[in-house]
Amino acid sequence: MKLTFLGTGAGVPSKERNVSAILLDLLQEKGATWLFDCGESTQHQILQTTIKPRKIENIFITHLHGDHIYGLPGFLSSRSFQDGTTPVNIYGPKGIEAFVKTSLEISETHLRYPLHFKEVADGIILDDSDFIVYAKQLQHGIPSYGYRIEQKDQPGELLVGKLQEMGISPGPIYQQIKENDVTILPDGHVVHRKDVLGPDKRGSVISIFGDTRYDERFVEFARNSDVLVHEATFAKDETTLAHDYFHTTTEQAAHLANQAEVKQLLLTHISSRYTGEKAEQLRIEAETIFPNVHIAHDFFEYEIKK
């Protein structure tokens, strides 16, 4: 499971940063990739990665400001040209369906695959065999959401020593035992999976926030995340400016990470005023409050390990 930042800038693209888009690579877990926001030129950024557009099955839009959605019609169109035939689910605030459909209709773009739109509200928005995704409305100038992705607990490791004590030698049978509640061996012996597995492994938790002011009410939503992705549009000395424009400072994002007891904070949505050493200063500001922090840059990758 890996996060790849395709765009980490705020508002408009710059020479150093494209606008918002994040990939969550779930190829090992689900054979698919999820996309969070799709700012202008996202499809160009994808060309610099190994990700195949046809593998993107879910798109989560945090809010409808242009730097988070202007790349969506182009990406959807290109996906169709690049052998994309499987459905795409688009999650987002009210209006995302109208935006996409109007763009495609006016440009007479005909996709080779179906689109499914799901208007989000607070609570569970996706629940499948592997993951649960929650949405939470944040505090921005227009409806903006955070997404909490919880991987369901995974079966523990096979207790190889116990299997060998039972006279079961290593081989394909081990995989069969791990994948089935009950396995009948060739000699008729019955093996119950629960008897030969270690404790379940806790699934990973990733919280990805859209644009927002700092608010302590969001602490519980991010609680105990392995990774929190949070905007840091402004430096710590621009609290008033951040509040007026419905954004967050580095210091505020670090406070939230600290209060929520997350393991890792990844800061993004960086204003173009912070380049080079100024961007490094943002990290230092956050690090004084929360030690495990990175300032994401375009094509920055972070692997979530358990």
Instruction: Please identify every residue annotated as catalytic.
Output: 67
**CB 38 within 8 Å of CB 210:** no
Distance separating alpha carbons of residues 140 and 297, to the nearest angstrom: 23
Distance separating alpha carbons of residues 170 and 123, to the nearest angstrom: 44
Alpha carbon separation from 259 to 171, 266, 289, 300 (Å, rounded): 47, 15, 10, 25
Distance separating alpha carbons of residues 56 and 36, to the nearest angstrom: 11
Residue by residue, what is the 3-state secondary structure of 233-249?
CECHHHHHHHHHCCCCE
Per-residue DSSP letters for 129-159?
A: SSEEEEEEE--SSS--EEEEEEEPPBP--B-
Specify whether the backbone of 31 is left (phi greater than 0), alpha (psi in -120 to 50) or beta.
left
The SS3 of residue 302 is strand
